[in-house]
Structure 1
Amino acid sequence: MTLRLLSFSLSALLLSTPAFADWKPQESTKFYRVSGTTEPELYASIGERGPQMSLGRTIAQTTFKLTWQRKYENQNGACVLARAVPRLLITYHLPKPANALPEPVKTHWTKFSAGVERHEKFHGVIITDMVRAIERETVGLRVENDPGCTRIKTEMTRRLAALSQAQRQRSREYDRVELGDGGPVHRLILEFVNRGATPPPL
C-alpha cells in the first residue's frame, strides 16, 4: 500500500509540471599534440598519444563533471526536493597537429578533425540530455514520512543510477553505429588515412 501511495503522489506531482532552472552546460576543449606531416603519420601519432581508456587509446574523448545545488523542504513530515540547479562541465579531448601541415594534408586534416569534433559534440548532447532527465525525475519529488530527508535521497540515488546507466548505453550504441564498419567515423578515418597512403608500384 505504501508503494502505491508513493507512486500516486509522484504521478500527481509530475502533472503539476514544476519549474526548472534555466541553465546551459559549460563546454571546453583540451588538445593533445600529434606529430607528422602525412596523413598516416598523423594517425599513427594519434594511436600513440590519444586519450587512454579501458580498452586502449582512442582518437578523442568527452568527459564531464556534474554537481548540484539542491534545496529540500519539509512539508508536514514529508520531504520535497523544491529546487535543483545543475552545474555541468563538459570537456572535449581532441587531437591537434604540433606543427604546421603542408597542403593538401592540412585540408584533409581540417575535414578529419571537424568530423571527430562533430562526433564528440553529440556525446555532449547525450550527457546534457541525461542531466535534463535527472531534473524531470527529481525536481518536485515528494516522499511522505521523511522529516529528515533521508528516504528521498535513497530514492534519488536509485533514479540517478538508472539514468546514468541509460546515458552510458546510449553513448555506447552511438559509438557502435558511428565507429562500426561503414559508419560515419569509420569512413572518415579510412578516407583520411588512405589519402596519404603510398600508391603501389606499377
Structure 2
Amino acid sequence: MKTALLPFAALLLSTPARADWKPIEKIETYAVSGQSAEQLYLSIGEKGPAVGTAGNERRVIAHTFFKLTWQRDYQPQGEACVLKTARPKLIITYTLPKPAGKLSPALQARWDAFAAGLIAHEKVHGAGIIDMVDKIVAFSTGLAAENDPGCKKVRAELTQYLDQLSQAQRQGSRDFDKVEFGKDGNMLKLIAAFLGGG
C-alpha cells in the first residue's frame, strides 16, 4: 500500500555556539499510536504538528521552532552611536513523534532508527539557527554610526542586516529540505526503511 509522504518542516537552519552565549535546546513530543510501521506513520499524518498560515495548514512529521530575544547595549558617544554588546537568548524547540504504547522488539528497533534520523535532520535546522545568531552577534557587536545621537542609524542598519540574514536562513532551510526529500534524499530513504518492514 502506498503511503503519502509527509513533508518535513523546519522554520529555520548549526555551528558550535560561541563561548559567550549558549542556546537552550528542548525536545517536545506528540503521541502516535499503532502496532505496525504503517499504522504509526498514518498516526503521524493525523497528529503531527500543523504548520502554515491559517486555512493553509498542513501536518508534518517533525518541526523546529525557535524563540530569540536580545539584550542590546546602545551607547551614544557624542554625536555617534555604538552598539557595545548584543547578547542573545535563543530557545530552540524540536517537536518529534513518540509512540504512546509499547512496541514489539522488531518494530521498536525500526522506530529507534527512524527517530534517530528525524532528530538528526532537525538538528541541522537547529544548527542553522545557531549559526544565524552567531552571525548576528558578530555583526552587531561594535556596530557604530557617526551623526547618530538617537542611535537610529545603527538600529536601521542592524534591522536591514537581520532581514537579509533571516531570508537567507529560511532559503537555506528550504534548500536543505528539498535535497533531503528529493530523489535519493536521506529523509525519503529513512521513511522507506521505516515503512519497509510493514
Q: Which residue of 2 aligns with 1:194?
A: 196
Higher-RCO chain (CA-CA 8 Å, sequence separation at least 6): 2
- Given that 2:85 and 2:140 are in contact with CA atoms closer than 8 Å, whether structure 1 keeps it comes out as no
Q: Which residue of 2 aligns with 1:41?
A: 39
How do residues 134-153 of structure 1 correspond to structure 2 at under 5 angstroms? 134-153=136-155
Q: What code does the residue aligned with 1:31 have?
A: T
Matched, 1:185 2:183: no
Q: How far apart in 1 are the matches of 2:134 and 2:155?
A: 18
The farther-off stretch of 132-141 and 86-95 is 132-141
Structure 2 vs 1, CA of residues 40 and 86 (structure 1 numbering), >3 Å: closer, same or farther? same
**Unpaired runs of at least 5, structure 1:** 1-19, 197-202
- Given that 1:62 and 1:91 are in contact with CA atoms closer than 8 Å, whether structure 2 keeps it comes out as yes
Shift of 1:103: 2.1
Deviation track 1:36-67 (CA, whole Å, cap 9, x = no partner) reads 01000000000111111125111000000000
Structure 2 vs 1, CA of residues 60 and 182 (structure 1 numbering), >3 Å: closer, same or farther? same
Shift of 1:116: 0.4
Q: 3-state DSSP class of the match of 1:186?
A: helix
Q: 3-state DSSP class of the match of 1:104?
A: helix
Deviation track 1:151-175 (CA, whole Å, cap 9, x = no partner) reads 2111111010001011101111111
Q: Which residue of 2 aligns with 1:162?
A: 164
Q: How far apart in 1 are the matches of 2:163 and 2:179?
A: 25
Shift of 1:73: 1.0
**Unpaired runs of at least 5, structure 2:** 1-17
Q: How far apart in 2 are the matches of 1:37 and 1:88?
A: 38
Matched, 1:52 2:54: no
Q: Which residue of 2 aligns with 1:131?
A: 133
- Given that 1:71 and 1:83 are in contact with CA atoms closer than 8 Å, whether structure 2 keeps it comes out as yes
Q: 3-state DSSP class of the match of 1:88?
A: strand
Q: Which residue of 2 aligns with 1:16?
A: none
Aligned CA RMSD, in angstroms, stands at 1.1
Q: Which residue of 2 aligns with 1:96?
A: 98
Q: What code does the residue aligned with 2:129 have?
A: I
- Given that 1:21 and 1:85 are in contact with CA atoms closer than 8 Å, whether structure 2 keeps it comes out as no
- Given that 1:21 and 1:84 are in contact with CA atoms closer than 8 Å, whether structure 2 keeps it comes out as no
Q: Which runs of 4+ in 1 moved over 2 A?
A: none
Q: What code does the residue aligned with 1:46 have?
A: I
Whichever of the two has the greater Rg, that structure is: 1
Count residues in correspondence: 177
Q: How far apart in 2 are the matches of 1:193 and 1:21?
A: 42
Q: Which structure has greater helix proportion?
A: 1
The farther-off stretch of 177-186 and 107-116 is 177-186
TM-score by length of 1: 0.85
Q: How far apart in 2 are the matches of 1:46 and 1:75?
A: 56
